[in-house]
Amino acid sequence: MGSTIGSGSTVLSLRMDGELLDRLRRQAARSGMSVQDYVIRTLVREDFDARFEDAVNETERFYGGGRGA
């Protein structure tokens, strides 16, 4: 799966088809990033979005689901 190195970093190997890798390379280049940095940024953003949505849902459940007044 992955192996821990250095200060808490973990190596994760991915197998993907060439077409997907080419798309990632183009998207990363447009952002001025390496493919690795682009993938990490995308995963971090997706994780944040999911955690934020969970927190909003939990808050709405706590306050009875109502918004406003």
Listing DSSP states for 50-61 in one string gives HHHHHHHHHHHH
Identify the band that residue 59 occupies on the pLDDT scale cut at 50, 70 and 90. Answer: very high
pLDDT digits (tens, 9 = 90+) for 9-41: 888 899 999 999 999 999 999 999 999 999 999
Per-residue confidence (pLDDT) for residue 69, from 0 to 100: 46
Residue of 19 and 8 predicted with greater confidence = 19
Q: Closest Cα partner for 24 from 41, 49, 11?
A: 41
pLDDT higher than threshold 80 for residue 52:
yes
pLDDT higher than threshold 60 for residue 1:
no
Distance CA 52, CA 66 (A): 18
Using an 8 Å Cβ cutoff, are 16 and 25 in contact?
no
Beta-carbon contacts of 60 under 8 Å, excluding residues fewer than 6 positions away, are 67
